[in-house]
Amino acid sequence: MAPSLFPFTYIVNPRSRPNPHTASSYPTLATTTTTTIITTMAIRFLLVACSLVVIASAGNFYQEFDVTWGDDRAKNLDNGQLLTLSLDKASGSGFQSKNQYLFGKIDMQIKLVPGNSAGTVTAYYLSSQGPTHDEIDFEFLGNLSGDPYTLHTNVFTQGKGNREMQFKLWFDPTEDFHTYSILWNPRHVIFMVDGTPIRDFKNLESRGIAFPNSQPMRIYSSLWNADDWATRGGLVKTDWSKAPFTASYRNFKADTCVPSSATSECASNSVPSNGGWWNQELDSMGQQRMKWVQKNYMIYNYCSDLKRFPQGLPPECSTA
């Protein structure tokens, strides 16, 4: 039996813990019931039947986002061109998009908390709501000074997550802004860092594996304290003498579809020819770049964790 690559938290799903950006935690469902499947199919049919409109958004945080918690710890600066989130011992902070999206290509430039950020988490993700929510996660787990950040990724479908992959970045994400992107179309969820793909979650519904394609999601980001698990499995606690901790955001861009009563359809508007994010997938070069990242910088892959899944790896792992 192969050893766990994630020995200190392999039984812990961080998203199952109470998070400050919601009123309650997200439960994880062990199985998908027949009722859920039927409901999902009905919702999907309605969303496909409804018209969708393409929205291209860029730049202004005043126009695109609402601060949802943390009071003045979240600051809009430079006429909405820069947004910062801060965390102190009393509270963290967060924001969410005004719009909900159903597929899109979304970019955000983030400069992470510098110095000793142990115990902190900067989360940037897409999510719907409810017990059968879908979610696409970037989470940046803080570090001791001089140690690399851990980039934690996860994909939830119909309330089920437990699909963690973790990476060490090949640069210092606190020295400058870097672009973190989610490409989400009907066939793929691709995570990218500065244009380099690091993970591709494929649509395998034909094999009975749920895919996030029926629930519109908002963009969320938050900076919060998670020193019970975030750094070395909770062994390193937050040093509040270093507070406030601050992360910065700029250059938000989104080419997305949102549910609408308008007459135009998403595919025809977003793909004037044979290109565009709607049909995008990794070519041979993109696949090679992703393999390079996963070979050299991936530190945990749930699809390799036989200790965590003694009854057998999740079915998507056979084609991951």
* pLDDT at residue 266 in the model: 57
- Quickly tell me which residue has 């690559």 as its tokens: 5
DSSP string of 126-178?
A: EE--STT--EEEEEEE---TTSPPEEEEEEEBTTB----EEEE-SS-TTTS-E
Q: Quick one: DSSP state of residue 17?
A: S
* pLDDT at residue 53 in the model: 56
Amino acid at 152: H
Q: Quick one: DSSP state of residue 4?
A: P
- Counting Cα atoms < 13 Å in the Cβ hemisphere of 80 gives 11
DSSP string of 211-247?
A: -S-SS-BEEEEEEEE-TTTTTGGGTS---GGGPPEEE
Using alpha carbons only, what angle is made at residue 264 by residues 57 and 65, rounded to the nearest 5 degrees? 25
Give the E-state strand segments of the chain in sequence order. 52-58, 65-69, 74-77, 82-87, 93-97, 104-111, 120-127, 135-141, 150-156, 165-168, 178-184, 188-193, 196-202, 218-225, 245-259, 298-301
Amino acid at 228: D
pTM above 0.85, yes or no: no
* pLDDT at residue 51 in the model: 43
Burial of 187 (0-12, 13-18, 19+ CB in 10 A): middle
Which tokens hold the place of 298?
Answer: 């991936």
What CATH number belongs to 61-318?
Answer: 2.60.120.200
Q: What SS3 class is residue 33? A: coil
- Quickly tell me which residue has 């861009």 as its tokens: 253
**Which residues are known to be catalytic?**
135, 139
* pLDDT at residue 262 in the model: 44
Using alpha carbons only, what angle is made at residue 112 by residues 110 and 116, rounded to the nearest 5 degrees? 180
Selection from 24, 224, 202 nearest residue 141 by Cα: 224
Contacts of 65 (CB under 8 A, 6+ apart): 83, 95, 96, 97, 98, 219, 252
Per-residue pLDDT of the chain (320 residues; tens, 9 = 90+): 333 333 333 323 333 333 433 333 222 323 333 434 434 444 444 344 334 556 666 678 999 999 999 999 999 999 999 999 999 999 999 999 999 999 999 999 999 999 999 999 999 999 999 999 999 999 999 999 888 899 999 999 999 999 999 999 999 999 999 999 999 999 999 999 999 999 999 999 999 999 999 999 999 999 999 999 888 888 889 999 999 999 999 999 999 987 764 434 554 444 434 458 999 999 999 999 999 999 999 999 999 999 999 999 999 998 75
- Give the integer Cα–Cα distance in Å for 122 and 140: 5
The residue extents of the domains of the chain are 61-318
Amino acid at 286: G
